[in-house]
A and B are shown apart, each in its own frame.
Chain A
Amino acid sequence: MHIAWFEYFQIACLVVALYCFRGLRACSLLAFIPLLVIVNVTEFTGINYRMFGWESNYLTYNLYLLASTPFYFFIAGKMLFLTGKETFVFYTVCILCMILISVNFFFIQGQFHFNTYSLVLIDIMTVVFSSLSLVRLTILDPQELNFAREPFFWINSVNLLFGLITLVILGLHEYILINHIEIAHQKLYNAILPSVNAIVYAGYSYAFILCRTQRIR
């Protein structure tokens, strides 16, 4: 059994989320708890797939994409402060995305081949939703925001940067793997993704703590 160093950030993030339960409820971010459970289970099984006698871990990550995306979309919807028709348009787009991801999982790239199309689609949606959310957060509030104390700012900022990086690295996953593209004697995504993951989950944890402190105030 092996636990990668960035997994500690993911576990810590889940622990912080549970500790800040009431804060997350006040900020309508409770969906993060099941999402983080899925993330932790996926990373653990994904990294230790040989322990389970599996040949590859693609199915684990493909299932992760399928299971985590609805939670992610739900959280994004909460952070967009949708009203009236916007809610309808947003959830229509989300349902269409989910249909495409499912079709890809079952019929196009399949279950045992990494679903890069789904991943690129999710990354595009992540970049778009987090950008919209950040713009909304900044423009809609007439008062000056203290970004450092704004949980939605931290969540969306790390999501935006994560989406932009993984869009290239995981989108080209197959190519990088086949051509043995390495940097510092490590596969490109192995060299970059752990650090990005650590930053993302540290950002989430800080946002959860902000939710808790804001609720107390």
Chain B
Amino acid sequence: MQDTKDQVIFTIVAVIIILLFLGVLFLVMLFYYNNKKGQMSKEQQLMKATFEKQLLESKLEIQEQTFDMISQEIHDNVGQILSLAKVQLGIMEQRHTFEEDLVSNVKESISQAMTELRDIAKSLSSERMQLLSLPESIAQEIRRINRSGIIKATVSVEGVEKNIPDQQKLIAFRMVQEGFQNIIKHAGASEIKVSIRYLEESLHISIFDNGAGFNPEEELKKREGLGLQNILRRASLVGGKANIISRPGEGTTLEIQIAYA
């Protein structure tokens, strides 16, 4: 009889212990899940902070390059045109005459300088960029390049245009601008072909030039290759990728792919 009682006590205590164990196990699992959630949340916050830092760095870089571009454009373009106008006015002053042709040339130079300044202002304005679509902004940039008469640039758009967030659009446009700058500065090209393709999942932009070409791997290793590195980094920053295909003497193709957010 005592044995049976002992067995019952043992069974009851065992059941209680098992149930308690299950209860405690449940609580431990909740603790574990909660900790995991905390870790994930911290990682996400860290990733967000890193992304924002990179974005800020990129914006500062773009700003720095923009200042360089303004300085260069004013010096090489507007400055030259206005210098010419000044020389023409100087000639008129020396001759003490009023030649209609010369006045007309001065007016034309000043008007050209104004157009150049307007173009620079347009291509730099982020606000204007937000109002226009990406193909429109690129087309505007191409018109500016074509006006120089040195390079013939064309753009083609395929697919139905899709909305891209302003931040992504601006960075994509700045990448294209950086590509154009590289072509104008280094490639010695006579032709630029831009193709914008809106695919199902992502936007593809390809910029081809028939210039001197180069070895991308070597160029990316050099410090001078910072412009190219910037393009690659900015592409990854907006969740996309960039690829440079080039060989000496065979021109260059810059491919940019950006997933829709």
Contact = CB atoms under 8 A, between A and B. Distances in A.
A183 B10 CA distance: 10
Contacts of B22: 164
A181 B9 contact: yes
Interface stretch (B34-42, B62-70, B165-173): B34-42
B51 interface: no
A169 B12 contact: yes
Question: Chain A: interface residue count, which band?
Answer: 20 to 34
A27 B251 CA distance: 71
Interface string B1-32: 00001001100110110011011101100110
Interface in A108-153: 131, 134-135, 138-139, 142-145, 147
Contact of A160 (B13, B23, B39): B23
A162 to B, nearest CB: 10
Given A138-B34, A164-B20, A181-B5, A172 B12 contact: yes
B23 to A, nearest CB: 5
A135 B35 CA distance: 14
A168 B11 CA distance: 11
A157 interface: yes
A25 to B, nearest CB: 27
Contact of A168 (B12, B23, B33, B37): B12
Contact of B23 (A144, A164, A172): A164
A172 B12 CA distance: 9
Contact of B20 (A139, A143, A145, A161): A161
B134 to A, nearest CB: 34
A168 B19 contact: yes
Interface string A172-210: 100010011111000010001000000000000000000
A168 B34 contact: no
A157 B30 CA distance: 11
B150 to A, nearest CB: 56
Given A165-B19, A168-B16, A181-B8, A160 B26 contact: yes
A179 B33 CA distance: 44
Given A138-B30, A160-B26, A183 B19 contact: no
A142 B20 contact: no
Nearest to B33: A138
Nearest to A176: B12
A163 to B, nearest CB: 8
B8 to A, nearest CB: 6
Given A168-B15, A188-B12, A142 B41 contact: yes
Contacts of B5: 179-181
A183 B9 contact: yes
B27 A157 contact: yes
Contact of A131 (B26, B33, B38): B26
A167 B16 CA distance: 9
Contacts of A138: 30, 33-34, 37
Contacts of A192: 16
14 contacts: A131-B26, A134-B30, A138-B30, A138-B33, A138-B37, A143-B37, A144-B34, A144-B38, A144-B39, A160-B23, A160-B26, A168-B15, A180-B5, A181-B5
